[in-house]
């Protein structure tokens, strides 16, 4: 079971997603008698790390607080193909209206958690951690960052406001790597200062400038090993993050060079939604509908 705290803007995201889908009203659900009750179950058609339970619960609770949702697995659990995930019971109109929004959250966040988990598994025993990036779906960053943590990954900075990452263009604008780091220190922001480097010489400059983290961009395995050795010999070693073209096939070899982190943009930007299916229990629905319909 996951103990990862849910994002503070969960309610805002759910409200926005429902407004986007429903607008002025669900015209199709309105064809169902208002008093009709229904029950539905959701299964996964493929194995995954389950993520998004708080979002699903919030969707139905916002539509009707009397809707009952019963889960058969916990947040962060590994689930198998064709496994039942949850059952939902309540007014038929509400279940039909909330279905797509609830499943959209669940399939995206489960996909993100599953991708993060796959990388985290490859790194077990190395001491290296997989990091996400800012390459997230617009408007759903906190949700995807949450899913990464549920899957066993670690968040890099959430946005531009909680960390400094000095890249090539920043260095050019500042005049030099040293000047960029000095400006970061003078800014008074109590956040880590990270510098992207593309060579061992730039790594030496980052160490000398007093950065906290060096992002080793597109280094070969040999260059990564040399960077680790150079850094360990420094009076004040930095944390080292490897990035660029990382795959499941290469991530462990990268970690074994001794870097502290490997950042992988694909765990949030290249995810493929987990295949889910919601099935209504037709008998219960029809019986409820017949009871609610007027005679004749």
Q: Which residues are catalytic?
A: 100, 135, 167, 196, 217
Q: How far is CA 70 from CA 41, 64, 288, in A?
A: 9, 15, 20
Report how far residue 239's alpha carbon sits from residue 214's, in angstroms, rounded to the nearest whole number: 6
Three-state secondary structure along the chain? CCCCCCCCCHHHHHHHHHHHHHCCCCCCHHHCCCCCEEEEEEEECCCEECCCHHHHHHHHHHHCCCCEEEECCCCCCEECCCCEEEEEEEEHHHHHHHHHHHHHHHHHHHHHHHHHHHHHHHCCCCCCEEECCCCCCCCCHHHHHHHHHHCCCECCCCCCCCCEEECHHHHHHHCCHHHHHHHHHHCCCCCCEEEEECCHHHHHHHHHHCCCEEEEECCCHHHHHHHHHHHHCCCCCCEEEEECCCCCCCHHHHHCCCCCEEECCHHHHCCCCCCEEEEECHHHHHHHHHHHCCCC
Edge to edge, the sheet with strand 276-280 lists 68-71, 84-91, 37-44, 276-280
């Amino acid at each position: 079971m996951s103990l990862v705290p849910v994002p503070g803007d969960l309610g805002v995201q759910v409200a926005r997603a429902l407004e986007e889908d429903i607008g002025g009203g669900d015209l199709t659900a309105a064809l169902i008698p208002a008093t009709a009750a229904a029950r539905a179950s959701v299964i996964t058609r493929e194995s995954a790390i389950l993520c998004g339970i708080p979002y699903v619960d919030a969707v139905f609770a916002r539509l009707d607080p009397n809707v009952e949702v019963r889960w058969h697995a916990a947040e962060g659990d590994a689930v198998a193909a064709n496994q039942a995930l949850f059952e939902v019971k309540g007014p038929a109109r509400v279940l039909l209206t909330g279905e797509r929004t609830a499943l959209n959250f669940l399939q995206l966040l489960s996909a993100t958690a599953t991708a993060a988990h796959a990388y985290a598994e490859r790194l077990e025993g190395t001491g290296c951690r997989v990091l996400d990036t800012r390459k997230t779906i617009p408007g759903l960053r906190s949700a995807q960052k949450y899913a990464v943590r549920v899957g066993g990954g670690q968040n890099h900075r959430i946005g531009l406001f909680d960390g400094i990452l000095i890249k090539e263009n920043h260095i050019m604008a500042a005049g030099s790597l040293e000047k960029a780091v000095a400006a970061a220190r003078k800014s008074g922001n109590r956040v880590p200062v990270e510098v992207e480097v593309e060579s061992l010489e730039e790594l030496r400059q980052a160490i000398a400038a007093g950065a906290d983290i060096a992002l080793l961009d597109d280094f070969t395995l040999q260059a990564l090993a040399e960077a680790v050795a150079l850094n360990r010999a420094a009076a004040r070693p930095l944390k080292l993050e490897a990035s660029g073209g990382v795959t499941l096939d290469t991530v462990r070899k990268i970690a074994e060079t001794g870097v502290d982190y490997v950042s992988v943009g694909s765990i949030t930007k290249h995810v493929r939604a987990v295949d889910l299916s919601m099935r209504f229990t037709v008998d219960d629905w029809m019986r409820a509908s017949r009871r609610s319909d007027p005679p004749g």
